[in-house]
Every structure is written in structure tokens, then in C-alpha cells.
A and B are shown apart, each in its own frame.
Chain A
């Protein structure tokens, strides 16, 4: 099975506190540590496990710039055989639709049986996979928590739904699935693995290579634009307990007791 995983390089929220800049209209971008979007690692791991069972190979692609090569290498170190950078000035400022348009053009150049994305990225949009599927007229399932390859070019997938329940679906190949975290345990990638792929050339495809009409992507084509960032409203806000740790513990125990949570 030929599998494409669409990945994204994002600010790593486990390494950074995301804060507003001085002007208060953008996030503070100096010294941000970037890494691969966490759900995308689960998608790559799942693709590798499917290939282990059913044969084929895994390709990882991202829409971005030179800086984004590092995540492609990381996913190659995990075991992805091929990586491709989809990069063109014309792609900059794309909304979800624009990104999906670029990926669609790439998919149409190749032959993939299965396309995986992480469930969502830093912007929490969870949109590109579903859009890509619609553009290709492929079936789509989101929030996927298990994949089983069955006979006759079909998969049996479970989706996460409310209350911890699972929805089981049969889906025809080719299809697009968005992968939920927790579906597997992504393998560890050490420095040695990264070094082994450090000098592997990564092909770059631009708008002309992909046959993408520059008028359909990028900032000018985007119907959805982020205007600015701002500090979230505080709401009622918590009463912050102050003092030494001992004092705060005593205050907290008193409060918990008063609320009936402690006998």
C-alpha cells in the first residue's frame, strides 16, 4: 500500500509558552522551538505499521519552506521512505483550502492508496484532510483511532465519538483519514537516526511542477484570514492562592473541606 502522510511544522507547545508580542497583535516568535505537529507523528507511525503488515511505502509531504525540511527528515528517520517539500512563494498565506489545493495537486501527480493527516495542528482547525478528500472525491473519516486493512481495497476504521465510544466504519480505498493521538505509540527517534538521513536530498516541488494555478492558493485566494492575535478573555478567573507552599496547602485543604470534598 502506498501511503502519503501530510505533516506540518509547528511551534512546540510543550517547549514554549505561547505569548503575545509587545504590540499585542501577534505571538512572540523569537526563540520559539518548532517541531513536528504531535498528531502527525501518530499518523506516520500508523502508516509505517500498515506498511509492515501490508507492504508498500510511506511518503511524507509538507507545504512550507526550507525550514520545514527538518520535520521531513525527522519522519524519514522514523522510517518514511520518501519525503517531498511542496514550496512556492505563491503558497504563502494560504488558508486551509489553499493548503488542501496544493496537496491535491501533489496527490494527482502520484498514486497513493491511503492519505493520512494528524487530527489537527497548532491552529486547532482540523480541516485540511476533509477538504483534500472532498477535492479528490475520496471518502474521509476524522478522529481515527484504529485501522484494519481488509480484503478488496477496503479498510475498517474506528472513529472516536462522544463519551469514549467508538464508531466503526468500512471505507473504500483510496481514502483520507485524520489520525487521533493515542492510536499507537510513535517510535523513538534518536540523534543517530536523524544523522543517517541528514544528507538525503529532499525534492522540492513548486507551483509550476505541481500545475497549481497561483490564483487559487496563497493569501489573495484565501477566503479565511487571521487578522490578529489577542489575549483570551480572563472570564471569571481563578482566585490565586498566595504564600508559602505550606500556607497554600492549608488554605486549599480548608476550601476543599468547605466544598464538601473532604470528610
Chain B
């Protein structure tokens, strides 16, 4: 069985949730092996991240370099290529960074690449059997990956539940970063998201709309329902792409993280990037005319209906009850 490595995402010295999730995923590939965490970065932030890893990972490879202070995927690729042995299995979270890092890294390592993995069924010989989704989560697929010359496996955030591991006193090994000069892509700055007219993160009830709203004029239908319920209108990515609502209204891994009590998902299919923005275990209601929409798998309550007819009638009923 090849050696398993987990690339650790951390920020300001704090480990990303994926650090524990990759450990769980590694256990599903080979329960007998203790995977090695690889963390890149610089200074006290990297020190803190590596220290935090010691309670769950038995071995930690620390690659410290000033040029790695910000995780520029091009430089992280060079650093990993320098230390990760040929033939290894490298696990990476399938987030904004993993999407940037891994496809190219797999080519550089001459390893197989499987993106966005949701489940691991195990290894038979040199075949690793994995589960993915296609078509925005409408169908699942079994995938077989030949790991004989190594593999880079991107793991979907949230797909693997962290396991209660025994406390270990992990060993930190300093590894060389190698030559990181001559970057053809240079990080300049991070621009923080603008806050819009409405702060959707502060609302207890969200009427959230997706592609099913169909056109800009219909956003008012959702606004009227939100007004009647005393909530706000949020949305999924296609609504922002179409410029029907501001980016500040978008819920998801690329938008806002919301913690309402009630989340009405109206005409939203329910991609994992969208669901990643809903925290705090709210009561999720899915209203969608496609009974197969993935959102119904995660909602508490589902209604199969046309939102453009359902929402106005619900608005009227809420108002009636308030005036009764």
C-alpha cells in the first residue's frame, strides 16, 4: 500500500475543517496506516498550525518558506513535488485552493487525479474505488483510479465526518522547501467582499432563490414573501451570475455563510458549494418543481411546486393570518 499524505489548509494558525476530514478519508483508504500531514507556510502561523496537528496526526511534515506565507498554488506545487515521494497518495481538500493546486500537481507527479471525491470504497490491488457526483449532484458515479504511479485525490469538504482519534503526540519534521524562485504567477493581495445593503448573515429567516426564479422581475415575488415573513432574500450563484442580485446576497462557499433559523430554498437545486454556506443546522425547506433536485436530500421539508405560483400564494396567506 502506498504511503498516504494529507495537504493541510490553515489560515492565521488555525486548521481548516478539512485537516480532520482528510484524516478520516485516509482511514477509509488504509485503516492500518497513519497518514502524514504536510503543511506549508511561514512563521508563527505555520508553527501554530503544525502544533495543532500534533494531537491528530502522528507525523507532520513542515515546509517553511517566506514565499509560502500566502498559499500560491504554483509555489506550493513546487514545494510538494520536492518532498512527496513518487507513488504516494496525496489527499487535498476540493476547495478554491485544491482546485487551483491539484490538476497540475498530478501531471507534475505523473500521478492519477480524481477531483471532488465524496466517498471511498477501498483499494483492490492497484485500483482505488471512489464515489463522485456528476451533473450538479443529480447522479452519483463509481470511479476506479489506478494508483500504481501515485495519485492526487481531491476530497469534497464536509463529505467525510472526522473520526474520534486517539490523542497522539505527533512528530514534526522540518522539510526543505527547495528552490521557489521564478514564479510565473505572483500573489498581490486579497480584496475582501463588499457588504451590501442587506446583511443576510444577520437574519433569522431567509427566502433564498435560485435559477428557478427565471427572471429579474420575479425577484420581487421573493422579496414580498420575505417581507411578509420578516426575513431577507438571499440566493444561489446563478442569480448573481445573471446580475439579478448583488454578490453580497449569495449563500455558499464562494459567498456568505449564513446561520438562520429557517432557510426557504426556492428553485435552488442544491449544489454542495451552495450548501456549504448554510451553517447552524437551520430548518431547511425546499420548494422546487423538480422532485429529483438534490436539495430534497438535505432539506427537512420538501414541496414539489412551481415557486412562481407557490410564493405569491404563501405571501397572501401569511398576510391574511397576520391580519386575522
Interface residues of A (CB under 8 A from B): 11, 13-14, 17-20, 27, 96-97, 100, 122-131, 133-135, 138-143, 156, 158-172, 175, 181-182, 185, 223-241, 245-246, 248-250, 252-253, 255-256, 259-263
Contact = CB atoms under 8 A, between A and B. Distances in A.
B222 to A, nearest CB: 15
B171 interface: no
A166 B192 CA distance: 6
Given A238-B297, A256-B262, A126 B115 contact: yes
A35 B317 CA distance: 41
A19 B139 CA distance: 7
B257 interface: yes
A181 B302 contact: no
Q: Which 7 A-B pairs have the closest CB atoms?
A: A130-B103, A261-B262, A164-B193, A238-B302, A182-B241, A134-B104, A139-B184
Contacts of A18: 134-135, 138-139
Contacts of A233: 140, 297
A19 B314 CA distance: 31
Interface in B98-119: 99-100, 102-108, 112-116
B303 A167 contact: no
Given A130-B100, A168-B191, A229-B139, 13 more contacts: A126-B99, A126-B103, A134-B103, A142-B100, A143-B100, A162-B253, A168-B188, A224-B143, A236-B297, A237-B297, A240-B301, A252-B314, A261-B231
B146 A159 contact: no
A169 B302 contact: no
Contact of A162 (B113, B132, B254): B254
Interface string B41-80: 0000000000000000000000000000000111000000
Contact of A234 (B144, B184, B189, B297): B297
Contact of B142 (A226, A252, A256): A226
A232 to B, nearest CB: 4
B190 interface: yes
Contacts of A262: 205, 229-230, 262, 318
B34 interface: no
B292 A240 contact: no
Given A131-B104, A224-B112, A182 B240 contact: yes
From A124, A158, A168, A227, residue with most partner B Cβ within 10 Å: A124
Category for how many chain B residues contact A: 35 or more
B15 interface: no
Contacts of A252: 285, 301, 303, 314
A168 B285 contact: no
B296 interface: yes
A171 B301 CA distance: 47
B116 A124 contact: yes
27 contacts: A11-B135, A13-B135, A13-B138, A18-B139, A122-B134, A124-B132, A127-B102, A129-B103, A130-B99, A131-B104, A138-B184, A161-B254, A162-B96, A165-B192, A165-B193, A166-B191, A169-B72, A170-B185, A225-B143, A225-B145, A226-B141, A229-B139, A230-B142, A246-B313, A249-B314, A249-B317, A259-B262
A20 to B, nearest CB: 7
B95 A162 contact: yes
Nearest to A100: B107
A19 B185 contact: no
B243 interface: yes
Contacts of B185: 139-141, 169-172, 175
A234 to B, nearest CB: 6
Given A13-B138, A238-B299, A248-B305, A223 B256 contact: no
From B95, B243, B247, residue with most partner A Cβ within 10 Å: B247
B190 A164 contact: no
Interface string B201-243: 0001100000100000000000000000111000001101101
A249 B112 contact: no
B190 A160 contact: no
A97 to B, nearest CB: 7
